[in-house]
Amino acid sequence: MHPFWTSFAVFFVILCVASWYHWRFLRRVRREFPSLWKDMGRPTGWTDCTLVDARGTYWYLFQRRYQQRGVADEIRFCEQFRVPMLITYVAALASVAVFLVGLLFWGKP
């Protein structure tokens, strides 16, 4: 198999997993914790639709700014999603870089 397709497949799978976690987090935070959602800047699937646009949500989780609110349920919820979301976000960024470098190095098939 050509390296282009391998790197594209890895990128696609990682992006799907990262998007699924992100969508699930945004949906639940909006529905179950509306005040936390407002504190985060009211992110939606449309406003956080790319890896670059979503960095505000990920930065909020990375800095653990939800802990400043002092609500135990919100902290527990965010901690549950924090590590998987940050890992998939970094993996998605890395897979984009690998895909683009591979595209430059090997070209399209």
> Which band of pLDDT confidence, cut at 50, 70 and 90, is reported for residue 109?
confident
For residues 67 and 53, what is the distance between their CA atoms, to the nearest angstrom?
A: 23
Give the closest residue to 20 by CA, choosing from 92, 94, 96, 93.
92
CB 37 within 8 Å of CB 27: no
Q: Does pTM surpass 0.95?
A: no
pLDDT, one tens digit per residue, over 1-38 is 788 889 999 999 999 999 999 999 999 999 999 999 99
